[in-house]
Amino acid sequence: MASSQPAAAAAAAGYHKDEEDEEATNKNRPDRRITLIDTPPTASDELVTELKRHLPFSIPVLRRIQFANKFPGPPGSTEFAHVLWAFYEEEEDEQKHFAAAYVDLSRGPETQCWIYCTLEDSFSDSYYYETTTAPSISGVQDGWVLIPTEEEQQSQADELVLTILRRMWEISSSQQQQQERPDDGGNSGAKQHTVLIGSLHETIRKRLLDLGVKMFKTKNVPAEIDWEFCNKWLFRVEDFPPAVIPTIPGGAGDSNKEILSLPWTNNKNPNKNFTDSSSRTSETTVQLKLKFDKVKKSDIPLIRARTSIDRKPETLLRLPSLVLRRLSFIPSPSPSNNNSREEEEEEKEEDAVAWAFTGLDGTLMTLHVEPAYRGLGLAKLIACKIMKDSLPLYGDDGWGAADVFVANTQSQGVCKSIGGKAWWTLSWAVVDLDSVPGLPTYLGV
C-alpha cells in the first residue's frame, strides 16, 4: 500500500479487497493491482487528507464525507452508508490516481451517491458553460497537485471508477437480499440495481457511457429534454460582498436576531391582505421588516411546492437552513392616519419570504425568494449568509459551492453577483449498475 495509506487504514476498514490481474479478469482492465477500501459509515482521516489535496475538484465528495463525519447519525449518515476508496497501490503519492465515493442506497428517492476521481482535475476547465476562459486557480488548497492524464492513465482512472461501481452493485445486491421475505422463496422477480448519483462530473459521465454503462435521467427532468445539466459554481467565502441592507440591532450580537428594515413604495407592497385603497397612493411608503430564522415544519409545504426536486420533509428539517420571515408592514404616519392599521399589522403572523439550505454535500440549494419580494437583494444576502454560517459544519477551507441548472439564468446572475465562477458541468444520473462492465468475472460467475 502507498505510504499515505497506512496499513492501519485497511485494517480498520469494514471491507478491504485487492483486485489482482488474473486470467479470468476482463482483458480490457489494466494489468495493475487495485485496492478497494470500504469503511461504513464514515471515512478515514487518510482519505479526507487526500481529498483536501484535490480541492476544489473533490468538493462534492469531500463535503458529503465531512458532513457525515460531523454528524454520525441523522442527518449526516445512516447505518447503510459506505465510503469507498479505490487506488493503485504502487503509485507514488504525488502522482496517485484514485476514486472515492459516498454511497447510501437508503436515501432514495434523494441523491444516493457522490463520486469523485482524480481524472476530473485535468478536465474541469473543459466542461462548463457561460465562461469563455478557465477560472482562476487562486485560492486552491496549498499542496494541490495536477496528476498527468495521458491516455493510458485515463484508462487506469476509468477502471478505478468501475471498481467503485462494482462494489455498489454488491452493496445493492446484499441489501436487496436482506429485504426479501423468508416466505417468497427468493422468487420475487428480477430486481434492477440502480443508484442515483448526484453532482456527476461530465467527464466521468461521458467516459462511463463510452464504457457501456447505462444511465437514465431523473424523473423531474421534462420529457422533451434529453438530459439536464448544471454548472458547478464555486465561491471563496472571504470574498463575499458585504451586506447592503440596513439592519436594526436585534439582540446580543446574534446576527440571526437582526431585523432587516427596507423601505417600500406602494407598487411593491407584498402584503396581499392590505386592502385599504385609500392608503394606496403614490405618497404611501411602507417599511418592510424581516428577520432571519431557521426553517420550521410549518414552512415545508410551501418550500416543497416551490421546487420540482423531490426532497423528503425530514431531510429539509435536518439540513442547515436559513429563512427570512416577514415581521410587519408599517405605513408611514401621516396627519390623516391613525395607528389602528399599524397595530393590526404588528400582530400578523410571521411568513417566510425567502429561504435557502446547504445540502448534504455542502452546496447552496433551494435558494428561493417569493416573487413579490424580488429585486431587493434578498437572494444575494441569504446566499452569502448561509454559506458563511454553515461552512464550519463541513470544513475550514473557505470554499462555497452551488449546482445551478444551465437554463437558470436568474440563479446564475446571483452567483456572479457574489463572486462565483462556473468551473465545470455536472448532472444527476440514475445509473444502471447491472450494466457496469466486468461484473461476471468480478463476481467470479
Banded model confidence at residue 312, pLDDT cuts 50, 70, 90: confident
Q: Answer yes or no: is pLDDT of 393 > 80.
A: yes
Same-domain status, 196 and 55: yes
Q: Measuring CA to CA, which residue among 398, 406, 400 is closest to residue 383?
A: 400
Banded model confidence at residue 147, pLDDT cuts 50, 70, 90: low
Same-domain status, 216 and 286: no
Count: domains in the chain: 2
Which residues in 242-258 are b (16+ Cβ under 10 Å) and which e?
Answer: eeeeeeeeeeeeeeeeb
Q: Say which residues have a Cβ less than 8 Å from residue 168's Cβ, sequence separation at least 6.
A: 84, 101, 103, 105, 113, 193, 195, 433
Percent of the chain with pLDDT over 90: 51
Residue at 125 is within a domain: yes
Average model confidence (pLDDT) for the chain? 78
pLDDT tens-digit map of 253-299: 455 667 888 775 545 444 444 334 434 444 466 778 888 999 999 99
Give the mean pLDDT of 219-235: 93
SS (H, E, C) 176-241: HHHHCCHHHCCCCCCCCCEEEEEEEEHHHHHHHHHCCCEEECCCCCCCCCCCCCEEEEEEEHHHCC
At 352, which CATH number?
A: 3.40.630.30
Same-domain status, 164 and 200: yes
Same-domain status, 131 and 272: no
Same-domain status, 326 and 366: yes
Same-domain status, 202 and 341: no
Same-domain status, 129 and 261: no
Same-domain status, 368 and 406: yes
Contact 38, 126 (CB under 8 A): no
Q: What is the pLDDT of residue 151?
A: 79
Residue at 40 is within a domain: yes
Residue at 2 is within a domain: no
Q: Which three cell numbers stand for residue 141?
A: 488548497
User: Which position has the higher pLDDT, 96 or 382?
Assistant: 382
Same-domain status, 296 and 375: yes
Q: Measuring CA to CA, which residue among 181, 190, 167 is closest to residue 105?
A: 167
pLDDT tens-digit map of 74-109: 888 999 999 999 999 875 655 688 999 999 999 988
Report the C-alpha gap between 384 and 162 in whole angstroms: 37
Same-domain status, 259 and 161: no
Same-domain status, 271 and 359: yes
Q: Say which residues have a Cβ less than 8 Å from residue 95's Cβ, sequence separation at least 6.
A: 145, 147, 148
Range from 119-128, 162-171, 196-205, 344-353 carrying the lowest mean pLDDT: 344-353
Containing structural domain, residue 138: 7-178+191-232+429-442
Residue at 1 is within a domain: no
Report the C-alpha gap between 261 and 250 in whole angstroms: 11
Same-domain status, 165 and 294: no
User: Which position has the higher pLDDT, 222 or 284?
Assistant: 222
Residue at 409 is within a domain: yes
Q: Answer yes or no: is pLDDT of 27 > 60.
A: no
Q: How would DSSP label each residue in 23-35? A: TTS-TTS-SS-EE
Q: Answer yes or no: is pLDDT of 165 > 80.
A: yes
Please report how the helices 202-210 and 151-179 are oriented relative to each other, as an axis angle in degrees rounded to 10: 80
Q: What is the pLDDT of residue 400?
A: 96
Q: What is the pLDDT of residue 246?
A: 66
